[in-house]
C-alpha cells in the first residue's frame, strides 16, 4: 500500500508542476535508475549468445528487468528499445519480445540479430557491446499480432530467421498455460547451425507440439501449398500465425490466399508514395532541397541532416518532428494533412508541394 501511495504522489499534478520542465523521472533516475513514475526503463540482467558463427551477425537473447512502470506484454507483441550512443543521442529500434507473456514489472527477453550493415546500431550494441547492469529505455509493449484469449484447439505457427521470436513467445506462453491442443510449428533457417533456440525446440517437441525445422539450402522443401497440404491437410482453415522475411511471407500469403485464418507480422519499411515537386525547407538549420516525393526522413538525410529515428516504420515515434506548414501524406494510410504546427512521424510522412519542417 505504501508503494502504491508513493506512486500516486509521484504521478500527481503537484509533483509534475514542481519538476517542470523536466518531469519527475529525470530526477528519479539520478537517485536510482530503476525508479520511475512514468517512463519505462530496464536493466540488462543477462545476455546469451544464441548463434555466434564466424563472419555471421551474432544472435543474442537479452534478459531485461523493467521498472515497475512496465505494464506487461502479450505473446507476439513488440517493444521499442532505446540506447544512448556516446552517452547522449538516443537511438531506438523495435524488437519482438521472445519470452512468454509477462505481467507488470516482470522480467522478459528480446532476441536480436546484429545488423552488420548499420553499425553502430541498437541491435549490434545489444549483441556485441552491452553488459549486464546497463540500462536501456523501453516503450510499453505494442501490437495486435497476438494469440486470442481462447486459443483454438489446433493452430499452426510459421516463421523464418529471426521472425521466430514472436512465435517463440507464443509457444512458450502455450507451454506455460499447459495448452492441450495441437500445435504445428514450421521454422525455416539457413542451416542447422543458424537455428535459433535449437536445443529448447528439441525439448518442446512432442506432447501435442509438432516441430519441423527446415533448411532449404540443405535440401528441405520450401513452403508451398503442396507441402502444407501434405503436412496439414486442409491447412487454409487452420488458425495460423506467421512471421519472417519478405520472401517467406509472400509464399505464406500466396498459399493461404484470402483465408481469414492467417495472421501475419513482418517489419517492412513503407514505400514512399509522395508526389515530387515544390520545395522542402528545414526551418531550424536553414537547409532547403527540392521535394523528391520521398519521406521527410529520407529527404532530410539526403540533405545532410541527421534527425533522430528508430524503427523507420511509423511504430516507435522516435522521429516525430513539427511540420510548420505544407501538406504531407501518410505513406502507410494514404491520409493527408495540412494543419500548421503539427507533430508528424517523418519516417512515414511524404510532402506534397512546398513544406516546412522544424529540423
Specify whether the backbone of 192 is left (phi greater than 0), alpha (psi in -120 to 50) or beta. alpha
Q: How many helices (H) and strands (E) does the chain have?
A: 9, 17
Q: Would the pLDDT of 274 be above 80?
A: no
Q: How confident is the model at residue 209 (pLDDT cuts 50, 70, 90)?
A: very high
Q: Give the burial class of 282: count Cβ atoms within 10 A of its Cβ; 0-12 exposed, 13-18 middle, 19 or more buried.
A: buried
Q: How confident is the model at residue 226 (pLDDT cuts 50, 70, 90)?
A: very high
Instruction: Tell me which of 63 and 37 has the higher pLDDT.
Output: 63
The answer to whether the beta carbons of residues 272 and 293 sit under 8 Å apart is: yes
Q: Would the pLDDT of 123 be above 90?
A: no
CA distances from 323 to 6, 112, 205, 213, 306 (A): 39, 34, 53, 48, 17
Could you tell me which residues are beta bridge partners of residue 110?
Answer: 62, 97
Look up residue 46 and give its three cell numbers. 543477462
Instruction: Tell me which of 267 and 124 has the higher pLDDT.
Output: 124
Residue range 214-218: mean pLDDT, rounded: 91
Give me Rg for the CA atoms of the chain.
22
Q: How confident is the model at residue 2 (pLDDT cuts 50, 70, 90)?
A: low
Predicted confidence at residue 319, as pLDDT, reads: 80
DSSP state of 223: P
Predicted confidence at residue 30, as pLDDT, reads: 76
The answer to whether the beta carbons of residues 37 and 7 sit under 8 Å apart is: yes
In this predicted model, what pLDDT tens digit does every residue of 293-330 receive, in sequence order? 888 988 998 898 888 776 666 665 668 899 999 999 98
CA distance 280 to 326: 9
Q: How confident is the model at residue 37 (pLDDT cuts 50, 70, 90)?
A: confident
Residue range 19-36: mean pLDDT, rounded: 73
Q: How confident is the model at residue 101 (pLDDT cuts 50, 70, 90)?
A: very high
CA distances from 40 to 35, 65, 134, 150 (A): 9, 11, 14, 30
Predicted confidence at residue 313, as pLDDT, reads: 64
DSSP state of 292: -
The answer to whether the beta carbons of residues 279 and 291 sit under 8 Å apart is: yes
Predicted confidence at residue 245, as pLDDT, reads: 86
**Nearest one of 276, 262, 15, 61 to 158, comparing CA atoms:** 262
Contacts of 85 (CB under 8 A, 6+ apart): 91, 120, 125
Q: How confident is the model at residue 270 (pLDDT cuts 50, 70, 90)?
A: very low
Residue-by-residue DSSP string for 331-346: TTT--EE--SSEEEET
Instruction: Tell me which of 159 and 258 has the higher pLDDT.
Output: 159
Residue range 90-107: mean pLDDT, rounded: 90
Q: What is the dihedral of CA 338, 342, 346, 351, to 10 degrees?
A: 20
Q: Would the pLDDT of 118 be above 60?
A: no
The answer to whether the beta carbons of residues 219 and 246 sit under 8 Å apart is: no
Q: How confident is the model at residue 124 (pLDDT cuts 50, 70, 90)?
A: confident
* Parallel/antiparallel/unpaired status of strands 287-290 and 320-330: unpaired
- HSE at residue 296, side-chain half, CA atoms within 13 A, is 36
Distance of CA 54 to the CA centre of its chain: 26
The structural domains of the chain, ordered by start, are 1-38 (no CATH), 40-142 (2.40.30.10), 154-266 (3.40.50.80), 278-357 (3.10.20.30)
- 24-33, 152-161, 176-185, 228-237: segment of lowest average pLDDT: 24-33
- List the alpha helices (DSSP H) in the chain: 2-10, 13-18, 24-31, 122-124, 164-176, 198-204, 225-232, 246-256, 296-302
DSSP state of 352: E
Mean pLDDT rounded to a whole number for the chain: 87
Residue range 120-148: mean pLDDT, rounded: 90
Amino acid at each position: 500500500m505504501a508503494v502504491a501511495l508513493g506512486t500516486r504522489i509521484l504521478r500527481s499534478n503537484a509533483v509534475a508542476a514542481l519538476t517542470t520542465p523536466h518531469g519527475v523521472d529525470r530526477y528519479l533516475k539520478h537517485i536510482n535508475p530503476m525508479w520511475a513514475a512514468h517512463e519505462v526503463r530496464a536493466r540488462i540482467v543477462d545476455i546469451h549468445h544464441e548463434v555466434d558463427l564466424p563472419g555471421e551477425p551474432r544472435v543474442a537473447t537479452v534478459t531485461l528487468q523493467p521498472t515497475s512502470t512496465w505494464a506487461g506484454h502479450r505473446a507476439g507483441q513488440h517493444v521499442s528499445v532505446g540506447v544512448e550512443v556516446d552517452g547522449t543521442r538516443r537511438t531506438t529500434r523495435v524488437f519482438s519480445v521472445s519470452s512468454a507473456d509477462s505481467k507488470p514489472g516482470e522480467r522478459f527477453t528480446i532476441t536480436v540479430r546484429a545488423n552488420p550493415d548499420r553499425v553502430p546500431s541498437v541491435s549490434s550494441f545489444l549483441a556485441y557491446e552491452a553488459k549486464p547492469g546497463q540500462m536501456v529505455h523501453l516503450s510499453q509493449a505494442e501490437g495486435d499480432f497476438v494469440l486470442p484469449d481462447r486459443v483454438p484447439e489446433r493452430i499452426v505457427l510459421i516463421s523464418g530467421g529471426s521472425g521466430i521470436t514472436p512465435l517463440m513467445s507464443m509457444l512458450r506462453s502455450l507451454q506455460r498455460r499447459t495448452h492441450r491442443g495441437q500445435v504445428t510449428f514450421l521454422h525455416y533457417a539457413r542451416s542447422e547451425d543458424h537455428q535459433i533456440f535449437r536445443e529448447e525446440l528439441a525439448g518442446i517437441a512432442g506432447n501435442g507440439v509438432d516441430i519441423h525445422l527446415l533448411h532449404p539450402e540443405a535440401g528441405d522443401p520450401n513452403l508451398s501449398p503442396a507441402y502444407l497440404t501434405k503436412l496439414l491437410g486442409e491447412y487454409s482453415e487452420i488458425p495460423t500465425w506467421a512471421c519472417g522475411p519478405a520472401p517467406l511471407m509472400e509464399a505464406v500469403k500466396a498459399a493461404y490466399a484470402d483465408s481469414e485464418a492467417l495472421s501475419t507480422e513482418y517489419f517492412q519499411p513503407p514505400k514512399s508514395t509522395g508526389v515530387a515537386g515544390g520545395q522542402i525547407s528545414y526551418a531550424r538549420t536553414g537547409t532547403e532541397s527540392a521535394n523528391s516525393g520521398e519521406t521527410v526522413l529520407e529527404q532530410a538525410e539526403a540533405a545532410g541532416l541527421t534527425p533522430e529515428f528508430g524503427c523507420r516504420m511509423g511504430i516507435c515515434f522516435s522521429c516525430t518532428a513539427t511540420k510548420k506548414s505544407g501538406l504531407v501524406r501518410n505513406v502507410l494510410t494514404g491520409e493527408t494533412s495540412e494543419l500548421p504546427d503539427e507533430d508528424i512521424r517523418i519516417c512515414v510522412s511524404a510532402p506534397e508541394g512546398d513544406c516546412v519542417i522544424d529540423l
